[in-house]
Structure 1
Amino acid sequence: MGHSQAAKAESREKVLRIAARRIREEGMARPGVADLMKEAGLTHGGFYKHFSSRDDLMAQAAALALADGEHKMAEAARKDPEAPRSGLIDAYLSSRHRDAPGTGCALVTLGASAGRGDEALKESYELQVRRYLELIGEAAQGDDPDDVRADAMVTLSALVGALLMSRAVADPELSDEILATVAGRLKGTGARVPAEV
């Protein structure tokens, strides 16, 4: 690859990474092409050298954002080989994850968009749901594949729902309580942070 082709590929990757972060922070509708290009240090006019349309960029950025989350979950599951499921739950339902939507799981921020989106976005979202289910299933204990899959579905639904709610509520104590309670229940400890009345 020549220097100009390498520079073009690098610029394209930069725009994709910025767009992936921004859609995790703001959703699919918000980031405009001009803003994304400016943040990447590129001109608006150069956009079409990299992407055929804004929809093309958003679809690719969504797929990238979704795949990034999978790598982080796999890493969390590998931290403690004796308890991979607990490690995954603790990492996902952490205040650190809650407070960093730009680098967090895109299943949370892209769910509504995927539900209303085109087939390509739905397929990217579904692919990641399937991969997360496999990852959670691999980290689970059990001999019955149907039970393991059902547990993975419940676990993934609880993880995504709890993170979404913890970000959406105004009360920081309730937000912490949601994370701690759901994590405790998923790990079978029943632990929760007491709510103040």
Structure 2
Amino acid sequence: MGHSQAEKAESRERVLRVAARRIREEGMEQPGVAALMKEAGLTHGGFYKHFGSREDLMDQAAALALAEGEEAMARAARADADRPRDGLIDAYLSARHRDSPGTGCALVTLGAAAGRGGTGIKEAYEQQVRGYLDLIGAPGAGAEDRADAMVTLSALVGAMLMARAVADPELSDELLDTVAGRLKQGTSAP
């Protein structure tokens, strides 16, 4: 790869990373192309050298954001070899994750956009849901384990969404702590 090709690839990657962070923070509709390019240190005019359209950029950035979240959760699960599910729950339902949406799990911020989006974002979202289910359960696990993984993932994403959305910090903390405690007890019912 020549020097200019390497620079182009680096610039493209920088735009994707900026866009991935911003869509985790603000969703898919908010970040405009001009603002993203400026934040990446590039001019708006260079956008089409890297992407076919804003939708193309958003789809690729969403896929990157989703993959980065899964990688972080896989690291959390590996932190405690004896209780990988608990490590994942603790990391996901932490104040740090709640307070840092730009580096957090994109399943929370992109769910509605994926539901309304085209095939590209739906496939990227589905891939990450499947990855999380395998991470929480076990690939090829039985029907009961798969159902438990689905309930766990739904509780993680839902609790994080609500914890970020409420105004009362005490309620936000309570949501995280209560759901984490119930999931680690192995029950999602009161």
Structure 1, unaligned runs of 5 or more: 191-197
CA displacement at 1:14 relative to structure 2: 0.1
- Give the partner amino acid of 1:75: R
Other-structure match for 1:31: 31
Mapped partners of 2:120, 2:186: distance in 1: 39
* CA-to-aligned-CA distance 1:23-80 (integer Å, 9 cap, x gap): 0000000000000000011010000000000000000000000000010010000000
2:6 is equivalent to residue 9 of structure 1:
no
Query: What's 2:150 paired with?
Result: 153
Mapped to 2, the partners of 1:170 and 1:138 lie a distance apart of 36
1:36-115 alignment, distance < 5 Å: 36-115=36-115
Give the superposition deviation at 1:119: 1.1
CA distance in 2, matches of 1:144, 1:51: 40
Aligned-residue sequence identity (percent) comes to 76
Work out the CA distance in 2 between the residues paired with 1:155 and 1:98: 17
User: What TM-score, normalized to structure 1?
Assistant: 0.93
Tell me the SS of whatever aligns to 2:137.
helix
Q: Name the SS for the 1:81 alignment partner.
A: coil
1:146-173, Cα deviation, whole Å (9 max, x unpaired): 1110000000000000000000000000
Paired residue for 1:195? none
Q: In structure 1, what residue type is equivalent to 2:86?
A: S
Counterpart-to-counterpart distance in 2, 1:87 and 1:124: 25
- For residue 162 of structure 1, the aligned residue among 159, 164, 173 is 159
Q: Which amino acid in the other structure matches residue 45 of structure 1?
A: G
SS in 1 for 2:138: helix
Please state if 1:132 is matched with 2:132: yes
Q: Which amino acid in the other structure matches residue 188 of structure 1?
A: Q
Measured at CA, do residues 189 and 147 of structure 1 come closer, stay the same or move farther in structure 2, by a change above 3 Å? closer
Q: Per-residue deviation at 1:107?
A: 0.2
CA 1:7–1:158 in 2, change beyond 3 Å: closer, same or farther? same
* Alignment partners' CA distance in 2, 1:65 and 1:54: 16
Distance in 1 between the 2:133 and 2:147 partners? 9
Task: Name the CA distance, whole Å, in 2 between partners of 1:146 and 1:135.
Answer: 15
Off by >3 Å, runs of 4+ in structure 1: none
Q: Distance in 2 between matches of 1:90 and 1:168?
A: 19
Of the three residues 173, 176, 180, the one matched with 1:179 is 176
Task: Tell me the matched-pair count.
Answer: 187
User: Cα 1:144–1:73, aligned 2, differ >3 Å: closer, same or farther?
Assistant: closer
Give the distance between the partners of 1:130 and 1:144, measured in 2 at CA: 13
- AA aligned to 2:96 is R
CA distance in 2, matches of 1:7, 1:160: 37
Q: Is there any run of 5+ residues in structure 2 with no aligned partner, and where?
A: none
**Matched letter for residue 18 of structure 1:** V
